[in-house]
Structure 1
């Protein structure tokens, strides 16, 4: 991955903007913007426009859950994005800020297109089953739980860089939590908690 220029600020709140209502919307935006030889983090974020924080969080999480996580330092960079987005959600900021050096990072366009196109059938299947259920879990104060888990997951991803594809597990967890927040589906948030419960159980039993 190579390097950018000025910081980017995108308006966003915790609910999804018009045009970004589900996982398929995110994937289609990324595929459209990755038609060139290279695509930068800034390009992808700009393709979403004045998106809210939850779609911004879902995007890198989905990317980490794809084979792109095998690219050196890709998981670390996406982990930093996840950390910065989720911690700003926790702080209830009105605008998202990302550093310029991060926004300049690029990946070959065809690699991004192939990785996200592979997810299209699964995304359609998932989106068809989304609904606004147990919405109390995607509003304060309960929404602090998935936001905090996403913050911790993003911070851990750079530490897992040297274990190939291990960050994909955390990426799946963050993607589920973010998807639940985008679609306002508390059931998806609960499902997103399961990988963390499993990790906690494994740690507890290993230490015992």
Structure 2
């Protein structure tokens, strides 16, 4: 990944959005500027892994964002659109800053280990399967908020798929699908 696409840079830009007492999703989107939709998809999926996931309804908001961003990827849009009701959502800037601090280490690590590998998995037609899986994950995330930790697990899986698309690294696509298969098997075993 080149410097402009580094995950650490994306995380730092999110931190720059936290200027007042509270920060809106609109301020975060504006701080990120014009990026690929995969970068926008990575943000809510990583956020669900952070301490912010303890905020009531935060996983639901992230799931809605993941769903909408994935839908736009499937429609091949070149810029992000989110409904005003999501863009106006605010959270305490201190929580956002804590999440950014928490995400810095993993972001640095991910920047070091990604590379352009297994390219056919991150191009059409296979990338449509990845985008559709992210869309389904975003759709199910609000329901899974009722089961402790499942939203965070799903967020981790979407993070791997988004990272695969952003870094053009098919290894992360494989890991994301393997994790989704594991979660599906675990949930079906529990429900039977």
Structure 2 match to 1:38: 22
- 2:189 & 2:150 partners in 1: Cα distance? 20
Q: Is the 8 A contact 1:22 1:182 kept in 2?
A: no
Q: Is the 8 A contact 1:20 1:55 kept in 2?
A: no
What is the TM-score with the length of structure 1 in the denominator?
A: 0.86
Structure 1 residue runs without a partner (length 5+): 1-15
Q: How many matched pairs?
A: 192
What is the TM-score with the length of structure 2 in the denominator?
A: 0.93
Structure 1 match to 2:65: 81
Deviation of the 1:162 alpha carbon: 2.5
Q: More helix by proportion, 1 or 2?
A: 2
SS of 2:80's equivalent in the other structure is strand
Structure 2 residue runs without a partner (length 5+): none
SS of 1:132's equivalent in the other structure is coil
- Structure 1 residue 119 corresponds to structure 2 residue 103: yes
Deviation of the 1:22 alpha carbon: 2.5
Root mean square deviation, CA, Å: 1.8
Match of 1:202 among 177, 186, 192: 186
Deviation of the 1:207 alpha carbon: 6.3
- 1:206 & 1:101 partners in 2: Cα distance? 35
Q: Is the 8 A contact 1:132 1:186 kept in 2?
A: yes
Deviation of the 1:200 alpha carbon: 2.7
Q: Is the 8 A contact 1:75 1:161 kept in 2?
A: yes
Match of 1:169 among 153, 164, 181: 153
